[in-house]
Amino acid sequence: MHLDFRQLRNFIALVEYGSFNRAADAVCLSQSAFSRSIRSLEESVGFPLFNRQTKALTLTAHGKKLLPYARQLKELNAEISHQLFETDSTLTGEINFGCGPAPGARLIPEAVSEFYQCLLKTRVRFHIDNWVNLHQALTTRKYPFVVADSWQAELDPMLRVQPLPPQQCFFICHTSHPLAHQGPVSVQMLLRYPFAAPYLPPGVRKVLATLSEQQDFVPAIQCDHMYALLSTLSRTQAISFASEDGFALYQHSHQLVKLELTDLPDEWRLMQTRFAIISLVNTVQPPLAEKMIDIILQTGCAHQQQLAGYRGNFSP
């Protein structure tokens, strides 16, 4: 039997909050990702842990037996983390990992800053690249993990995917763009202009192909460096899209405007980031990598809480 600590953490949260919605919010996961985690844990132990036939969420006999052990493991994990990292200022070494352009803009720099404050004598190397190159580096064990979009990784049984909190995505342009101050515009009007984007995962390409009524969608301008990519918007009348995090970071420095559309299909209205920490299954992470992963997850949750405070207040 393989028990995943984060699945046990989610199991404890569901017991304590008594609701999938509240428990998912508490651990900063989408409800679908949280539900998958609970189902995976039940598959690992081989028994249902919750009675789902009743209105109130209650533990099965197997769930009651697992709960005290799960809590003990949670306490033990916290103690191990404290002993290894918080009290050992002499720990040295190097952590090397990769990340995609979007998480590399804000999430990863903030996580690295937090990590480095805890472990001043370590060296940190993170490399920004697209999924194709990150996947190759991961499978050849150049990196112990990567932080990237999980569209393709979720389909690969050889990869372990630890989801980060999702964010809404929307179309953007430079404030000098002809569409910037017109109010809501149609999809047809939007697609008259060139599109600038980093490497697009298949799910996003499919949505954009549907919008443009094409078999496939290829951006007119492609660059995996977000700062450079968004700098082209003021000189090309191109449009792009951004997550809430990316827009908050670059809105003022790049004079960006969020575009409102009149006839956007439901597929795009529901479009969210699907960033995750991705590693090879059945691989034990080195202590420094495990610490970095924990901090990235914590930073993702903190971003989610910050965004909740001003979501919907972006300048039009």
Residue range 116-140, pLDDT digits in tens: 887 767 889 999 999 999 999 999 9
Whether the per-residue pLDDT at 313 is higher than 50: the answer is no
Whether the per-residue pLDDT at 96 is higher than 80: the answer is yes
Residue 301's contacts (CB-CB under 8 Å, 6 or more residues apart) are 27, 28, 165
- Please, what are the domains in the chain? 1-87 (1.10.10.10), 89-145+283-316 (3.40.190.10), 169-269 (3.40.190.10)
Strand arrangement, sheet containing 93-99: 122-128, 93-99, 146-149, 275-280, 159-163
CA distance 245 to 169: 9
Tokens at residue 112, please?
Answer: 């690295």
**Per-residue pLDDT reduced to its tens digit, 152-209:** 888 888 999 888 888 888 899 999 999 998 889 988 888 899 999 988 877 778 888 8
Stated pTM of the model: 0.69
Q: Which range, 91-95, 132-136, 224-228, is most confident?
A: 132-136
Kindly tell me the burial class for residue 259, based on how many C-beta atoms sit within 10 Å of its own C-beta (0-12, 13-18, 19 or more).
buried
Range 44-47 contact pairs with CB under 8 angstroms and sequence separation of 24 or more: 44/1, 44/2, 44/3, 44/4, 44/7, 45/1, 45/3, 46/1
Taking a C-beta distance cutoff of 8 angstroms, is the pair 11, 41 a contact?
A: yes
